[in-house]
Structure 1
């Protein structure tokens, strides 16, 4: 290290700056190699950019790479003219351009650096000076600078040779992986759920056997530009939860859609038969300020953002009611086009137009012939730990059914065409790292011009989520709310109470035991309390 100090003291090419390079998770200097932090093997994982190789350690707690090019030392917010290395850093940046900063335009030069990081910085300046000489601008480089670099190159000959040799080896491995990968544009992910479910009570005061079944989803995410997304999802399963219209499911035994669990799939006629149940394309415009969405097979919840922590059917609430409010379900539409505008980091607007099936038997489906809905949602980030949303949807229902799957009687006026106006609000408050509170409320105004009649549906829910309860990655939750209630027909107010604990066994497997009760199911005190207990095991890959 004595040799290094002698070289640094010369402060010729601004080499003294290298002593200020902190022990960063990775260093990137002007289109050259980025090296990982000391005390880790820097060759565990790689990512190729257009002109730079960044080596990031697997499992690193901070994989932030330095990629922000700096053309003036004044662009580095944490470097001041009074700093001891200011002049040297200024020389490196403005004379040779071989320093880059973090994305937040900081340099972070107050910690020690490793020999590998030092060698990476040295290699960057060597490459830049070679470019200057090759361009016939040798007079721009002083003899003193070259002498200093030569001494440093000799001192770090072993590290430089190691870096270049290993990068060449990694280049070969990357080329092999790219040649053998499934696709250069598409990534495959999947989710498998094993579910054991039992229930009792409800309208029939029935009791089900313990049902053990599955649901499989395979998702292909394709990007052609790196910023767009084409998503294709295939699904198969044999867990059913339909009511008396299809009594094979748990909810059919109890004859109440209020007892539906959240990860049900398909109908008995298609048990474990694969189908394409999601297809959309999303792409940015206007420098990312807007995103457009087109989904010939898509529901509102595939486009509109759900801020609740309970939305996922594989990781969130165990009940259908607990996942999210009716705004994301009303009409049962199956295709959607939409646009999202980002005002700033705190306000987003999403607008969508959705329609029912284009292939219904009457031929009245499609974008304008069947069930249609126009909806909008404002998303507000009131604080770092507080998110809210306000939503509106106007829906036309030619057969009179809300089609939410949350209540048995969804045709308040029979089969007469119905119009609805829905208003809903959501709030999520992360009270501290261990407790999150969320709540939502929805009111639906329904009327039929044919009969001149109207009614109102209401629903609300509140819950506490406990991240990392007992184990990192695991979650406990309690939810309480009122399922969808028709003000014209209800003789009692229904209530829903839910408890579950998602135990994260490892990164890819979680086990969720849970139970929920529905009091006064289907808004009648004459019906027995519905009880649904289950164990959900989710495999994700």
Structure 2
């Protein structure tokens, strides 16, 4: 009886050893090389010492020795070689496996013939005594399998994750024309639901509440509506159309950074990186928001082309609104990244009645604009990154004649792992959007220039908490030297889970 169980237990080991020995020989050759080797008649061997190319120091020596000398189901080549480093053909695998199975059947037959009638009676009696327990166990297994099949058939997605983010910011305007110079404390809380149906697609839904007040002199990247109402602040679905084409359908609160890479090392969407909206990305990107579609086509390992269309009054059926008749932004961008240290983006945006106020230009008349931008980052070393952008917008009045030119630019410098791994020190210097020429009634040319200087230090306490103190200095706010310079201090704490 013991011999039977030992034989049965040994049988799987023989099969596994056979598969490992023949199918994973190291180093394996390519299938093409294996096909080019002339097949030879295989000869059965009785001792591993018959192989001239097998040494006791080989990693599979003991397994080969057991298969040859214990089971006698391994063959060699007529020149007394085993060729353990050669790739295995399907024919050779079938021949070796068949020889081992035949030998196992012989051992089982011999062992069974030696079992007495008393042992067989004992086995039958045990089966009878435990028949109810076996039936119960079988029923439980069947029930579990049925439940698993039902769950798999009706599951919402293959994966679904819950993510959270809380930004707490204390802000004060130390200098400036605004009469509101009291210190404020506000919070932006986000709950993100990230799901996937195929493992390659993403369904993203975000609920947000934000009561962080903004400042007049420099818009903060994490500021909100100064209330505590929670609302759906982001809903989109991204999926690969082909191996090199990705599509994103945006149903709510979309922005340019949902469609393209803004090519700025400090673009952390308010939670990380730059503290101001100006320092977060090129201001021309703010001429896009709402609902729409984006497509990115990979043109190789280092080049991609993206297009996107977002409408901000997509759910309003009234005249002058909707997806195509209301305010919109249409984007095209070519992104070139030949190495991890260098990236550049060339951007074009056509917009209607949307986004100029984000550039500090208030134009009440209906307008259409064309914007052009170039953004780049260059890693001077592993820790020192230089970046910047330039943006130009030409806007035309649709209710009266005239157009206007608006320019902006910035230079950024980042120090990664400054003081501690994961920390980031950043400096931003640039020119706020400036009207350099205008023939539109009510929109005058800016005679003065407003500069934006920002410095921050993002200290990572751990993987889930970071603290970022920073200062924003704006000269000639509104491109008017009669306005006092503004100095804004803020302390941002970000929690993620």
Contact 1:236 1:275 in 2 (8 A): yes
* Structure 2 counterpart of 1:439: 388
- In the TM superposition, residue 326 of structure 1 has moved relative to its aligned partner by 2.2
1:217 corresponding residue in structure 2: 190
Question: 1:437–1:464: 8 Å Cα contact kept in structure 2?
Answer: yes
Once residues 13 and 90 of structure 1 are traced to their aligned partners in structure 2, the CA distance between those partners, rounded to angstroms, is: 14
Structure 1 position 302 matched with structure 2 position 262: no
Whether the aligned pair in 2 keeps the contact of 1:418 and 1:448 (CA below 8 Å) is: yes
Output one character per residue of 1:323-359: Cα deviation in whole Å (capped at 9) or x when no partner.
00123211x5311212111111111000111212234
Aligned partners of 2:480 and 2:207: how far apart in 1? Answer: 38
1:201 paired residue number:
175
Aligned: 1:276 with 2:232: yes
Q: 2:98 aligns with which of 138, 155, 165?
A: 138
TM-aligned CA deviation for residue 15 of structure 1: 5.1
Contact 1:13 1:88 in 2 (8 A): no
Offset of 1:540 from its aligned partner?
0.8
The 2-side partners of 1:291 and 1:363 are apart by 33
Asked whether the equivalents of residues 337 and 352 of structure 1 are also in contact (C-alpha less than 8 Å), the reply is: yes
Residue aligning to 1:377: 333
**Number of corresponding residues:** 386
Pairing partner for 2:281 from 291, 301, 324: 324
Residues 157 and 196, structure 2, Cα contact 8 Å, conserved in 1: no
Task: Write the distance in 2 (CA, Å) between the matches of 1:521 and 1:201.
Answer: 11
Q: Report Cα offsets for 1:7-59 as digits up to 9, x if no partner.
A: xxxx99995998979xxxxxxxxxxxxxxxxxxxxxxxxxxxxxxxxxxxxxx
* Residue of structure 1 equivalent to 2:377: 428
What is the SS of the residue equivalent to 1:279?
Answer: strand
Over residues 338-391 of structure 1, what are the superposed CA-to-partner deviations in whole Å (9 max), with x where a residue is unaligned?
Answer: 211111111100011121223459553221121122210001013342111000
The aligned counterpart of 1:239 is 212
1:480 aligns with: 429
| CA shift in 2, pair 1:372/1:504, >3 Å | same
Aligned partners of 2:303 and 2:468: how far apart in 1? 34
SS for the counterpart of 2:278 is helix
Deviation at 1:525, TM superposition (A): 0.6
Distance 1:187 1:221 in 2: 5
Tell me the CA shift for residue 301 of structure 1. 2.0
8 Å contact from structure 2 (residues 158, 199) kept in 1: no
Alignment partner for residue 507 of structure 1, among 463, 474, 483?
463
**Partner Cα distance (2:255, 2:387) in 1:** 23
In structure 2, C-alpha distance between the alignment counterparts of 1:96 and 1:376, rounded to whole Å: 55
Other structure's SS at 1:405 match: helix
CA contact under 8 A between 1:339 and 1:351: conserved in structure 2?
Answer: yes
Going from structure 1 to structure 2, the CA distance change for 1:240 and 1:95 (only over 3 Å counts) comes to same
Does 2:47 align with 1:90? no
Are the equivalent residues in 1 in contact too, given 2:158–2:197 (CA < 8 A)?
no
Alignment match, 1:314: 271
Q: Give how far 1:186 is off.
A: 1.4
Matches within 5 A, 1:103-114: none
> What is the CA distance between 1:205 and its match in structure 2?
4.9
Backbone CA RMSD of aligned residues = 3.6
Change (3 A) 1:491 1:480: same
How many angstroms apart in 2 are the aligned matches of 1:307 and 1:361?
35
Equivalent residue of 1:334, what SS?
Answer: strand
> Is residue 230–residue 281 contact of structure 1 (8 Å, CA) maintained in 2?
yes
Q: Distance in 1 between matches of 2:402 and 2:356?
A: 19
Does residue 528 (structure 1) correspond to residue 477 (structure 2)? The answer is: no
CA distance in 2 between counterparts of 1:142 and 1:437 reads 70
Could you tell me how far apart the structure 2 residues matched to 1:532 and 1:494 are? Answer: 15
Q: Secondary structure at the match of 2:99?
A: helix
Does structure 1 residue 364 correspond to structure 2 residue 320? yes
Q: Secondary structure at the match of 1:322?
A: helix
Matching residue of 2:3: none
Q: Is 1:448 equivalent to 2:407 in the alignment?
A: no
| Match 1:418 to one of 342, 350, 367 | 367
TM-score (norm 2): 0.70
Superposed CA offset, 1:251-297 (max 9, x none) = 2xxxx3xx1221112x23xx1110001111111112x2111121121
Structure 1 segment 146-185 matched on structure 2, within 5 A: 184-185=158-159
For residue 343 of structure 1, what is the aligned residue in structure 2?
299
Aligned to 2:220: 261
- Alignment partner of 1:190 out of 164, 178, 181: 164
Offset of 1:315 from its aligned partner?
Answer: 0.8
> Is the 1:12–1:88 contact (alpha carbons within 8 Å) kept by the matching residues of 2?
no
1:184 Cα deviation from its structure 2 partner: 4.3
Label 1:18 to 1:285 Cα distance change in 2 as closer, same or farther (>3 A): closer
Residues 142 and 427 of structure 1: CA distance in aligned 2, closer, same or farther (over 3 Å) = farther
- C-alpha distance after superposition, 1:191-236 (max 9, x if no partner): 101111111333x254511111100111111111111111111100
Deviation of 1:139 (Å): 3.2
Cα distance in 2 between the residues matched to 1:373 and 1:365: 13
CA separation of 1:284 and 1:13: change in aligned 2, threshold 3 A: closer
Equivalent in the alignment of 2:244: 289
